Structure 1
Amino acid sequence: MVAPTSRRPRTPWTHTLDLDTEVRAAWAWISRPGLLRRIPPAVRHHLSAAPASTAYAFTLFVTWWTLRGVGGSVERRLIFSASTNLYNMQHNPIQVLVASAFWTEGEFPWVTIAEFLLLMAAAERWLGTGRWTLLFATGHIGATLLTVTAIDRLITRGIIPTRVAVAADVGTSYGFTAVLAAMAFLFRGKVRVAWIGLILVSLAAALVVGPTFTDYGHLCAALIGLLVGTVASTFWRRVERVRNRSDEVDQEA
């Protein structure tokens, strides 16, 4: 016996939101009495529904704290050993592909941690932990491989200096960009088009104005996220249409 369509679990790739409705609902929630009392439970619910993003943000804090306590020379060695540059990718590709995503350079990564606790947690709640992790990893690995391949060819042709082969390259930005681009499919219509356009225009502008290999990687990551979103949403919409037709036939029989 075929289950009714209404009882079938829906894939998140076909579950879109209306931005105006969401904004009105958020404003109504904010306007209700007792806002300060309701914020802590809402934050706990938000983070508990996104365990991977929350754990990732905590890991970034731990790795940053580790670097602050080891001294400058050791810090540089750790960053180099985890970098997805051409040299490391030729010698320890799997190790650096994993390790590079959990290290950050510079000052305390306030912005990155906030992005994970807000945007990435929202994406994880939409997609589910498994899909979010797979999409993030696909963006990180795919953009890294495309970037390293481009660097290899440019060095071989003498277009860029050989020192780029050992440049430091760690961080979460490729995976983050892929997920952010795919979040366009959480919305519909003009909002989706505007989301995609804003991401692509800003990344393309960065690549034109002051091109670096990371700018190229970010654009690749965004295209990967859009490709995954397009394929997944198209596939599951077709599946749902087939299921609906099957249900109609069963009801008529």
Structure 2
Amino acid sequence: MGERLVTAARWCWAYVRRAPGTFVWLAILLLTTVLIRSVSPATADHILERRSTNIHYLVESPVRVLISSALYIAGGGWVGYFVLYNLFHVPVERWLGTGRWLTVAVIAHVGATYLSEGVLLWAIDHGQAPQSARYTLDYGVSYALAGVQAVLTYLLARPWRYVYLAGLLLFYGFGVVSERDFTSIGHFSAVLLGLACYPVARGRSPEWDPLAWARGAYRRLRGRAVGGTPADGG
């Protein structure tokens, strides 16, 4: 039992250290989530309002709110983001390296924030939204996540690349059509910005074929099940 625990701990550490940026970010999100849930609703609202990338604060203190807004979760629980980060951020950070992965996340987060708030400002100036919308809460990590999901397209081998891209565009495009708010526009903008990061991803590693990987994993598992040497797989 002790050996199994040691083996599991070593595996977990090896897994985490291959994507250090992702897990540091998750640790910060866990701490801020616990903080927000441990204070009164009024205090939580004050904390989040001060870290919101709304029009007012993008003019007054843009750097501060662009950084701090990405350290809090908007909607959903931390566990859900833990799953999403492992599905998308981890493979992209391993593939691109921490520096390039962070570059994509920052471009998506900052770019989509300004694009979506720009649309909102246009709506305010043209009487399509109230002046109070300048102070709307806008924080969270979903723009960065959408950008990273988009750049992951270039890791996939054809034809899976096109299937994945179509699903991504349909998912976020449906949000724009159905919601028609600045947040859905921000998410779709983040996807486009992630796709525009192709130069960051170009030539990083061989394309990944999910079907070939699944076949290889099945052969290895079958080899272990019969007690022999695992068969070679793709």
TM normalised by structure 2 equals: 0.80
Does 1:161 find its partner at 2:130?
A: yes
Does 1:190 find its partner at 2:156?
A: no
Does 1:64 find its partner at 2:54?
A: no
In the alignment, is the contact (CA less than 8 A) between 1:154 and 1:160 conserved in 2? yes
Write the letter of the residue equivalent to 2:28.
T
Corresponding residue for residue 99 of structure 2: 130
Structure 2 Cα separation of the partners of residues 206 and 106 of structure 1: 16
Write the letter of the residue equivalent to 1:71.
S
Correspondences of 1:17-32 after superposition (within 5 Å) = none
Correspondences of 1:7-156 after superposition (within 5 Å) = 40-105=9-74, 108-156=77-125
Structure 2 Cα separation of the partners of residues 135 and 105 of structure 1: 20
Structure 1 unmatched runs, 5+ = 1-34, 238-253
Greater length-normalized contact order (CA 8 Å, ≥ 6 residues apart): 1
Structure 2 unmatched runs, 5+ = 205-234
> Alpha-carbon deviation of 1:232?
3.7
In the alignment, is the contact (CA less than 8 A) between 2:150 and 2:195 conserved in 1? yes
Measured at CA, do residues 189 and 118 of structure 1 come closer, stay the same or move farther in structure 2, by a change above 3 Å? closer
Write the letter of the residue equivalent to 1:72.
P
> Alpha-carbon deviation of 1:106?
5.2
Write the letter of the residue equivalent to 1:49.
R
Corresponding residue for residue 12 of structure 1: none
1:116-136 Cα shifts (integer Å, max 9, x gaps) = 234211211111111111111
Structure 1 Cα separation of the partners of residues 126 and 34 of structure 2: 40
In the alignment, is the contact (CA less than 8 A) between 2:147 and 2:190 conserved in 1? yes
In the alignment, is the contact (CA less than 8 A) between 1:182 and 1:225 conserved in 2? yes
Structure 1 Cα separation of the partners of residues 81 and 42 of structure 2: 24
1:71-105 Cα shifts (integer Å, max 9, x gaps) = 11111111000011111111111110000000124
Structure 2 Cα separation of the partners of residues 38 and 197 of structure 1: 40
Q: The residue matched to 2:197 in structure 1 has which SS? A: helix
Percent of residue pairs identical:
26
Q: The residue matched to 2:127 in structure 1 has which SS? A: coil
> Alpha-carbon deviation of 1:233?
4.9
> Alpha-carbon deviation of 1:161?
2.1
Q: The residue matched to 1:193 in structure 2 has which SS? A: helix
Write the letter of the residue equivalent to 1:133.
L
Measured at CA, do residues 38 and 193 of structure 1 come closer, stay the same or move farther in structure 2, by a change above 3 Å? farther
Structure 2 Cα separation of the partners of residues 179 and 146 of structure 1: 17
Structure 2 Cα separation of the partners of residues 107 and 220 of structure 1: 21
Structure 2 Cα separation of the partners of residues 225 and 157 of structure 1: 30
